[in-house]
Amino acid sequence: MISPLTYLKHVREEFAHIVWPTSRTATAHTFVVILISVAIAILVGILDFVFGLGVSHVAGG
């Protein structure tokens, strides 16, 4: 088992290898994630409404 200080030293060395995205790239990816989330939420809402109507029709409500 390595000591906590050695572990933190290795973590610091690995951080030097990280290629961080630019602000523009991070913003673009965030926008894409939000758009996909909204699209899926709308799709699930529509499906819920349609299936709810179907169940109400079958159950006689």
Contacts of 2 (CB under 8 A, 6+ apart): 10
Query: Is pLDDT larger for residue 59 or for residue 43?
Result: 43
Prediction pTM value? 0.68
Give the model's pLDDT for residue 2: 87
Number of helices followed by number of strands (H, E) in the chain: 2, 0
* pLDDT at res. 61: 65
Cβ contacts of residue 21 below 8 Å, gap of 6+? Answer: 29
Residue 1 binned pLDDT confidence (cut-offs 50, 70, 90): confident
What single letter denotes the amino acid at residue 47?
A: L
pLDDT digits (tens, 9 = 90+) for 15-53: 999 999 999 999 999 999 999 999 999 999 999 999 999
